[in-house]
Structure 1
Amino acid sequence: MKVLTRENRGDAGAAGAVVVRECVQAKPDAVLGFATGSSPLPLYDALADFGLDFSRVRGFALDEYIGLPPGDPRSYGAVIDSEVVQRLGMRPGSVLLPDVAAADLEAAAGEYEQAIREAGGVDLQILGIGHNGHLAFNEPGAALDSRTRVEQLAERTRRANARFFDSPDQVPTRCMTQGIGTILDARQLLLIAHGADKADIIARALQGPVTPDCPASALQLHPRVTVILDQAAAAGLR
C-alpha cells in the first residue's frame, strides 16, 4: 500500500488524478470504477483540467440508491453523468450502474457482476470512505468476500448523506452496492479522503485489524493500493 499526503483536498485530488491519468495513458480503453460523494470531486475536477482523451474509457459505478424516481438529480447515476461522463468527454452510456428499477433486484445484482466480468474486470477503482468505515455502501458487518447486492443503509450513513437532500427523511434506506469482494477484484485501488473528521477511520482502516467491523480495512488485503490524503485526514496515522 502506498500512502501519500498532500496539504489540502485540492492537492490530494490532483495527485489522485495523476494516478488515473497514468492508467488511461497506458491503456486508452481502460475500465474504471467511479465513486461518488464529496471525496472524489477534486479528482474529477483535476481530470477535467488535464484534457485527457476518455472517449474509449468504460466504467462502472460503485453503487446506487434504491427508491429515487428515474432521472432524480440526487441519484448517483445523475451525479456520474454530470461530474464524470460529460466533464471528461466520455461516450454517453459508457459508465454502467446497477439496475435498481429491476423487478428482481437479486437478479439485477448478479447481472451487474456479470457485466463487470464481461468487460474484463476493473483496471482502476476510485474509492472514498465513510465515517463508519463503509466502502461503497458496504456497511460495518459486511462480509469481506461479499458481491454486488441490495444493502440497508446505516443511520449514520443516511445522516451523512442528508446534506444532499431537502430533509433527512428523503434519504433512501436501501441501495445496491458492489461488494467488498467485487471491489478487491479490481487490479488497482485508489482511495481519496480529506478532512479531520476522516482521520480516525482512516487510521482504523489502514493500520488497524482487518475486520468486517471496518469494511475499508479490506484495502489491506489488496496487492496494489494507493491512498491519497490531505494532512487533516492523515493526522491519525502512525
Structure 2
Amino acid sequence: MEVFVTAGPEEAARRAARVVIEAVAESVAAGRAPVVGLATGSSPLGLYKELALAVDRGQVDFSEAYGFALDEYVGLPAGHPESYREVLVAEVCRRVGLAPERLHVPDGSGRNESELAAGAARYEELIRGVGGIDVQILGIGRNGHIGFNEPGSSLTSRTRVKRLSSRTRADNARFFESLDDVPTHCVTQGLGTVLEARRLLLVATGASKAPAVAAAVEGPLTASCPGSVLQFHADALVVVDEAAAAGLRNREYYDESAAGL
C-alpha cells in the first residue's frame, strides 16, 4: 500500500487524477477498453473535476471507457436525482465524456430479495465480461465502510443487498429532504469484488475521515473496518490531505516513500 499525504483537498484531487489517467493510459496501451470503478459521495468530487480538466487539455479520453458504480440505493424510482446512476451521469458522464450507455450501476429496482439478488449476480457477470476493473475509485465512510459495505461485512463478499447503518443514513440525509427519505437498503459491490480490481485508489479529505483512514491503513485487517481490506491488495494507493492524515502513526515513512527516499 502506498500513502500520499497532500497539503489540502485540491492537491489530493490532482494527485488522485494522475493515478486514474495513468491507469487509463495503461489499458489503452494494452489494447483494452479502460474500465473505471466509480464512487459517489463527496470524497471523489474534486477528482472528477480534475479529470474533466484533463479531458479538456487532451490528457485523457474516456469515450471508449466503461464505468462501474460501487453501489446503488434500493427502492428509488428511475430518474431520482439522488440515485447513484443520476449522480454519476451528472458528475462523471457529462463532465468527462463517459457515454451513459457505458456506465453500469447495480440494479436496485428489484421488487423483492430474489430479484435484487439476481440483479447483483448479473452485475458480477458484467464486470467479468469486460475483463475486470482497471482502477477502482473509493471513498471511506466515517465508520470505515467502502462502497456500502458496513462494519461486519464479509471480507470476501460479492455484490449483494445490504442494510444501511443508521450512521450512514444520517450522513447521507443531507442529500435528501429528510432522514425518512433516505433508503434503508442498497446493492453494493462486495469487498471481495472490490479486491479484484487491478488497482485501488482511496481518496479521503477532512478531519472527520481521520479515524477511519487510520484504522483502514494502520489498524488490524478486520470486518469492523471494511476499508482495512486495502491492506490485502497488491496495488492499493491512499491519497489523503493533512486533515484526513492526522491519525496516521507512520507518517514519516509515507512521506519518505512518496519522495523516493
Does 1:8 find its partner at 2:8? yes
Larger mean Cα displacement after TM superposition, 181-190 or 24-33: 24-33
Amino acid at match of 1:12: A
Instruction: Note if contact 2:39-2:147 (Cα within 8 Å) is conserved in structure 1.
Output: yes
Indicate which of 153, 168, 178 corresponds to 1:167: 178
Equivalent-residue separation in structure 1 for 2:208 and 2:110 (angstroms): 36
2:87 corresponds in structure 1 to 79
TM-score, with normalisation over the residues of structure 2? 0.90
2:153 aligns with 142
Q: Counterparts of 1:175 and 1:236 in 2: how far apart (Å)?
A: 30
4+ residue segments displaced more than 2 Å:
none
Q: Which residue of 2 aligns with 1:50?
A: 54
Partner residue, 2:40: 36
Please give the alpha-carbon distance, in whole angstroms, between the structure 1 residues aligned to 2:11 and 2:215: 23
Structure 2: distance between partners of 1:4 and 1:42: 16
Q: What is the aligned counterpart of 2:69 among 36, 44, 61?
A: 61
The equivalences for 1:94-109 within 5 A come to 94-103=102-111, 104-109=115-120
CA distance in 2, matches of 1:181, 1:208: 19
Question: Is 1:215 the equivalent of 2:223?
Answer: no
The yes-or-no answer on 1:198 pairing with 2:206 is no
Whole-angstrom distance in 1 between the partners of 2:108 and 2:207: 34
**CA displacement, residues 26-69 of structure 1 (integer Å, 9 cap, x when unaligned):** 22321110000000000000000011211111111000001111
Between structure 1 and structure 2, the one with the greater Rg is: 2
TM-score w.r.t. length of structure 1: 0.98
Q: Percent identity?
A: 53
Cα deviation for residue 149 of structure 1 reads 0.2
Measure, in 2, the Cα distance between the counterparts of 1:120 and 1:53. 19
Q: Distance in 1 between matches of 2:225 and 2:62?
A: 34
Q: What is the CA–CA distance in structure 1 between the aligned matches of 2:248 and 2:36, rounded to whole Å?
A: 28
> 1:175 is matched by which residue type in structure 2?
C
Deviation at 1:102, TM superposition (A): 3.0
Confirm or deny that 1:237 pairs with 2:248: yes
Equivalent position SS for 2:247? coil
Give the distance between the partners of 2:165 and 2:107, measured in 1 at CA: 21
1:92 to partner: Cα distance? 2.3
Deviation at 1:93, TM superposition (A): 1.2
RMSD: 0.8
Q: Which amino acid aligns with 2:141?
A: G
* One-letter amino acid of the structure 1 residue matched with residue 87 of structure 2: V
In the alignment, is residue 89 of structure 1 matched against residue 97 of structure 2?
yes
Cα deviations by residue, 1:128-167 (Å, 9 ceiling, x for unpaired): 0000000100000000000000000000000000110111
User: SS state of the match for residue 72, structure 1?
Assistant: coil
Task: State how far apart, in whole Å, the 1-side matches of 2:153 and 2:92 are.
Answer: 28
Corresponding position of 2:187? 176
Tell me the CA shift for residue 7 of structure 1: 0.9
Query: Aligned partners of 1:102, 1:78: CA distance in 2, in Å?
Result: 18
Gaps of 5+ in 2: 250-261
Q: Distance in 2 between matches of 1:144 and 1:82?
A: 31
Q: 1:189 is paired with a residue of what secondary structure?
A: strand
The answer as to whether partners of 2:153 and 2:223 remain within 8 angstroms in 1 is: yes
